[in-house]
Amino acid sequence: MFCEKAMELIRELQRSSEGQLPAFNEDGLRQVLQEMEALYEQNQTDVNEAKADGRADLIPSIKLRHCCLLRNQRCLTAYLYDRLLRIRALRWEYGSVLPANVRFHMCAEEVQWFSHYKKSLASFMRSLGGAEGLDITQDMKPPKSLYIQVRCLKDHGELEIDDGTVILLKKNSQHFLPRWKCEQLIRQGVLEHVMS
Partner 1 sequence: MSDALSDDGSVNQDDSQEDVMTPAELIAKLEEAWLNEKFSPELQENKSEVVECVMEQLTHMEENLQRVKKGDAKASIHRMEIDRIRFVLSSYLRSRLQKIEKFFPHVLEKEKSRGEGDPSLLSPEEFAFAKEYYANTETYLKAVALKHMPPNLQTVDMLKAVPEPCLDSFVFLRVKEKQENILVEPETDDQREYVVDLEEGSQHLMRYRTIAPLVSTGAVQLI
Partner 2 sequence: MDTQSYLPVQPGVGMEENFLSLDDILLSHERLPIRTECSFPRLGFLDKSSDSQDIPEGTKMELPLWLSKGLYEKKRRVLSVELPKVYREGWRTVFNADPNVVDLHKMGPYYYGLGSQMLHFDSPENPEIAQTLLQTFMGRFRRNMDSSQNAYNEDTSALVERLDCLEKALFSSGQSGLNSFQSWEKGRASQLTASSLVLNYRKRKINDIQP
Q: Which residues bind partner 2 (CB under 8 A)?
A: 1-3, 7, 10-11, 13-14, 18-20, 42, 46, 57-58, 60-61, 63-64, 67-68, 70-71, 74-75, 77-78, 81-82, 85-86, 88-90, 92-94, 99, 101-102, 140-145, 148, 179, 182-183, 186-189, 192-193, 195
70 makes contact with partner 1 (CB under 8 A):
yes
2 makes contact with partner 1 (CB under 8 A):
no
Q: Choose the one of partner 1, partner 2, none that binds residue 93, judging by a C-beta under 5 to 8 angstroms depending on kind.
A: partner 2
Build a one-symbol-per-residue string for 166-185: x at contacts with partner 1 by CB under 8 A, - elsewhere. Answer: -------------xx-----
Build a one-symbol-per-residue string for 86-125: x at contacts with partner 1 by CB under 8 A, - elsewhere. Answer: --x------------------x-xx-xx--xx--xx-xx-
Q: At closest approach, how far in Å is the CB of 135 from partner 2?
A: 15
DSSP per residue over the chain, as a string? -TTHHHHHHHHHHHHSGGG--PPP-HHHHHHHHHHHHHHHHHHHHHHHHHHHH--GGGHHHHHHHHHHHHHHHHHHHHHHHHHHHHHHHHHHHH-SS--HHHHTTS-HHHHHHHHHHHHHHHHHHHTTSTTT---TTS--S----SEEEEEESS--EEEE-TTS-EEEE-TT-EEEEEHHHHHHHHHTTSEEEEP-
136 makes contact with partner 1 (CB under 8 A):
yes
Q: Choose the one of partner 1, partner 2, none that binds residue 50, judging by a C-beta under 5 to 8 angstroms depending on kind.
A: none
35 makes contact with partner 1 (CB under 8 A):
no
Inter-CA distances, 131 with 56, 64, 134, 168, 181, Å: 71, 60, 9, 28, 18
Residue type, 83: R
51 makes contact with partner 1 (CB under 8 A):
no
